[in-house]
Amino acid sequence: MSKRDYYEVLGVSRDVSGPDLKKAYRKVAMKFHPDRNPDDAGAEEKFKEASEAYEILSDQNKRAMYDQHGHAGVDGAGGMGGGGEGFGNFSDVFGDVFGDIFGGGGGGGRRGPSRGSDLRYTLDLSLEDAVKGTTVKIKVPTLVSCKPCNGSGAKKGTAPTTCTTCGGHGQVRMQQGFFSVQQACPNCRGTGKMIKDPCPSCRGQGRVEETKTLSVKVPPGVDTGDRIRLAGEGEASADGGPAGDLYVQMDVQSHEFFTREDANLYCEVPISIFDACLGGELEVPTLDGRVKLKIPAETQTGKLFRLRGKGVAPVRGGVAGDLMCRVIVETPVNLTKKQKELLEELKASMKGQKNSPKQESWFKGMKNFFGDLKI
């Protein structure tokens, strides 16, 4: 029985690239795999045919011979050529295609040293320090490289030896039917090395717990959620790789007077009814000290006064925000009999005058709503 064209088997053109060839083989192999078609002999044949086609076309030399001479140029070269006696080599081809799923390619050597874990530290800041910037010292519990063994995990004067189970590769291959699965070596846990005489300080781990004191420079203008990265101040690697990073996350605490919205600050300023009516001048706090705020006559409660440039300069640059002062008119309390009489006299003198604009407009709205409300 004549063999089908390998390109036709995989459903690709003759100028197909390597990645597209692998993708096409993956699709065909998964469709006709015997584990998915246990009672279909035809599917198994198509699976073998696709695997043979991929083994030839994925090898540049074999592909060149096939393109020039057809099947005659590669007879016996394929993993399943010559009647299928080479079917045992299929696991290497299939393992290469699905290496990204099982953690390694067909050859699959040990990976390089892994990077240490990153750490996060939440730094509580006052609003003043967040706005103006500061330098603080923090204590961070972490894993650092063991000094007596220099991070090797082996007792001083000794050294780790090559793992006899994986031969130093860090991975072992397990055959599961037609699948060849690579996984971390259970003996050395993927490191490729064994420690016969562990370091007494770290008990063979290569790392010890330690609390580090670090100095963190907080730039002016940071806000809650901003992070500062301290490179290499995270956990030490377990196998000699670079240390992770430490991310210091800002958490700005609430303030007695101010609230922050982006670059602006807001505060409430209580004023007497007399200053609201007649006008006046009072001192208000800012993060740079006190400033005078002029209150015009007939000021209503809730009015906002803007103090330009008294807010926050953004951490990434730009113009400083403003301080927004919201005045709250206070009603006098604990009045004497004489004071109440004076207020009654004032109330009587104002009868018929339109000097409560908000109240009047509110009552008009209510009248329109109910239709029969008397003002």
Q: Which of 85-89, 170-174, 204-208, 269-273 is predicted least confidently?
A: 85-89
Q: What is the pLDDT of residue 134?
A: 95
282, pLDDT greater than 50: yes
Give CA–CA dist 55/21, Å, rounded. 11
Q: What is the pTM of this model?
A: 0.58
102, pLDDT greater than 50: no
Phi, psi for 293 (deg, rounded to 5)? -120, 125
Structure tokens that stand for 203 in this block: 């008990």
86, pLDDT greater than 90: no
Q: Which residues contact 44 (CB under 8 A, 6 or more apart)?
A: 32, 34, 37
Please name every residue paired with 270 in a beta bridge, in sequence order, or none if there are none.
328
Which sign, positive or negative, has the C-alpha torsion 68, 69, 73, 75? Answer: positive
Please name every residue paired with 215 in a beta bridge, in sequence order, or none if there are none.
137
**Domains detected in the chain:** 6-97 (1.10.287.110), 119-252 (2.10.230.10), 259-333 (2.60.260.20), 345-375 (no CATH)
For residue 79, name the pLDDT band (cuts at 50, 70, 90). Answer: very low
Give CA–CA dist 302/270, Å, rounded. 10
- Tell me how crowded residue 311 is: count the other CB atoms within 10 A of its CB: 25
β-pair type (280-286, 264-272):
unpaired
Cβ 324 vs Cβ 286: under 8 Å: no
Cβ 320 vs Cβ 309: under 8 Å: yes
Q: What is the pLDDT of residue 152?
A: 83
Q: Which residue has the tokens 């420079």?
A: 217
Structure tokens that stand for 224 in this block: 């809650």
Taking residues 53-61, what's their average pLDDT?
88
Q: What is the pLDDT of residue 2?
A: 67
Taking residues 236-262, what's their average pLDDT?
90
| Angle CA 75–81–85, to nearest 5 | 140
